[in-house]
Amino acid sequence: MTAVFVYTDDMLHKLFHKLNTGVLIALTAVSYLALAFVVYFIFREALPLFSQVSVWDFLTGTRWMPVDYGSGTAFGIFNFIAASVIVSLLAMIFASVLGLGAAVFLSCAASEKIRRVIYPFIDLLAGVPSVIYGFIGIVVLLKIFLKVGVHTGSCVLAASILLSVMLLPFLVSSCSETMLKMKEHYLPGARAMGVDYWYSVATIVLPSSFKNILLTMMLAIGRAMGETMAVMMVIGNANLFPTLLGKSETIASVIALEMGTAVADSPHYHALYAAGLVLMLLVFLINTGIAFLRNRLIRKEA
C-alpha cells in the first residue's frame, strides 16, 4: 500500500506541479457546484407543479391521487410531511434514551483503552446499510408487532424504532465527545471536593453538556428525515395521518416508490420533485436553525 502510494504520489506531484493550484481550485469548485446543481435541478423540476396546484394546497392537502383514474388528480402531501416529522421525532426520542446513556458510559465509566476499542464498533454500526435494517425490521420487528396484534405488523412505531437504532451511532459518538470534554474540564474540581463520582457525573457532566446534546438531537432529526429505505420497508406506505400503530408514508418513501412509474415531465413527476424539494428545505431549515442556535447558545458562553 505504502509503496504504491509513494509511487503514484511522485507521478501525481510532477503532473500537479505543472498545472499547479488552478486545478486544485477548479476541483474544489466542483464540490460547491454540485450543491448548486442539485438545488437548481430540484427547483427546476418542482416548480411546474405549482402552476397547477397552489403551494398551500400542496402542503396542506391530504389527498394524493397523482394519476387520473376518473376522479381527477390531487396532490396533497400533508400526511407525508406529518409522517416524516413524527417518525423522525419519535426515533430521535428513542435513540436519545439509549444513546445518551451509552455516551455517559463511554465518557465517564469506560477507560481510554475501552473507548479506543469501542469507537470502531460504533463506526461499524454507522456503516450498516439502511436496507439491512429494513430487512431485519421486516423479518424480526414486524413479526413481533404482528404477534401483538398489529395488522400486517407495519406501523409508525416499528419505523421509529428501526430508525432510532440507525441514529444511535451518530448520537453516541457525538455526545460522548462532548461529555468527555466536559468531564475533563469540570470533574477534577469536583473530585477534589470529595464528591461521589457518579453524583458529580449526574450533576455536573450531564447538565453542562445539555446544550450540545440538544443541538446533536436536532441534527439527528434532520438526518432521520432523509432516511428512506428502512422506514419505507416497515411503515406500510398508506396515505394516512401517522398514528403510533397505524400505517403511514413518509415523503422519502413516496418518492422512492412512485418515481419508477411516474412519466417524465408529467404532473406526477413534478409533484414528486416538489415533494423532494419540501423534504430538502425541511432539512435545510433544521440545519440552519441549529447553526443559529449554536451561535446563540454556545458562542455567547465563550
Partner 1 sequence: MIRSRLVKIWAYASFILIAAIVVFLFAFVFIKGAGTISWTFLTDIPRGAVLGSEGGILPAIAGSFLFTATAAVLGGIPAITSALYMVFFCKSKNMGVLFKSLIQCIAGIPSIVLGLFAYSFLVKDLGLGRCVLSGGTALAVMILPFIEVRAEKAFSEMKEQVIHSSYALGCSKTYTIFKLVLPSCRGELVSAIILGCCYAMGATAPLIFTGGVAFSAVPDSLAKPAMALPLHLYLLIAQGTTSLPTAYGTAFVMMAILLISNMAATLYAARVRKK
Contacts to partner 1 from residues 35-74, by CB under 8 A: 35, 37-38, 41-42, 44-45
Which residue in the block uniquely carries the three cell numbers 431549515? 285
Among 210, 241, 284, 292, binds partner 1 (CB under 8 A): 284
**Which of 7, 34, 47, 146: binder of partner 1 (CB under 8 A)?**
34
Nearest to partner 1 of 51, 71 (CB atom)? 51
What is the closest distance, in whole angstroms, from the C-beta atom of residue 56 to partner 1 in the complex?
22
Question: What single DSSP character describes residue 106?
Answer: I
Q: Identify which of residues 86 and 100 has a Cβ nearer to partner 1 in the complex.
A: 100
Residue 74, φ and ψ in degrees, nearest 5: -150, 135
The long-range contacts involving 206-209, CB below 8 angstroms and separated by at least 24 positions, are 206/104, 206/179, 208/182, 209/175, 209/178, 209/179, 209/182
Considering only 59, 65, 206, 297, the residue that binds partner 1 (CB under 8 A) is: 206
Closest to partner 1 by CB, 62 vs 287, is: 287
* Footprint (CB under 8 A) of partner 1, residues 235-264: 252, 255-256, 259-260, 264
Site for partner 1 in 139-158 (CB under 8 A): 139-140
Residue 44 Cβ, how far from partner 1 at the closest point, in Å? 7
Q: State which of residues 52, 184, 199, 244 lies at the interface with partner 1 (CB under 8 A).
A: 199
Note whether 99 and 150 are within 8 A (CB): no
Figure out which of the listed residues 62, 73, 208, 287 binds partner 1, where binding follows CB under 8 A: 287
Q: How far is the CB of 245 from partner 1 (least distance, A)?
A: 22
Phi and psi at 46, nearest 5°, equal -85, -40
Q: How far is the CB of 72 from partner 1 (least distance, A)?
A: 25
Per-residue contact flags (x/-) with partner 1 for residues 263 to 282, judged by CB under 8 A? -x-------xx--x--xx--
Asked if 197 contacts 258 with a C-beta cutoff of 8 angstroms, the reply is: no
Query: Cα(36)–Cα(30) distance, rounded to whole angstroms?
Result: 10
- The answer to whether the Cα torsion of 227, 46, 264, 271 is positive or negative is positive
Instruction: List, as one string, the DSSP characters of 199-264.
Output: HHIIIIIHHHHHHHHHHHHHHHHHHHHH--HHHHHHSB--SS---TTS-B--HHHHHHHHTTTSPT
Contact stretch for partner 1 (CB under 8 A) within 48-56, 62-70, 225-233, 241-249: 225-233
- Residue 125, C-alpha cell as written in the block: 454500526
Here's the x/- map for partner 1, 94-113, by CB under 8 A: it reads as ---xxxxxx-xxx-xx----
Site for partner 1 in 122-141 (CB under 8 A): 123-125, 127-132, 134-136, 138-140
Closest contact distance (angstroms) between CB of 66 and partner 1 is 15
**What amino acid occupies position 157?**
L
Taking the least distance from each CB to partner 1, the nearer of 259 and 293 is 259
Among the candidate windows 16-24, 54-62, 144-152, 236-244, which touches partner 1 by CB under 8 A? 16-24
Long-range contacts of 79-82, Cβ-Cβ distance < 8 Å, separation of 24 or more: 79/239, 79/240, 79/241, 79/242, 79/248, 79/249, 80/239, 80/249, 80/250, 80/251, 80/254, 80/275, 81/251, 81/278, 81/282, 82/241, 82/242, 82/248
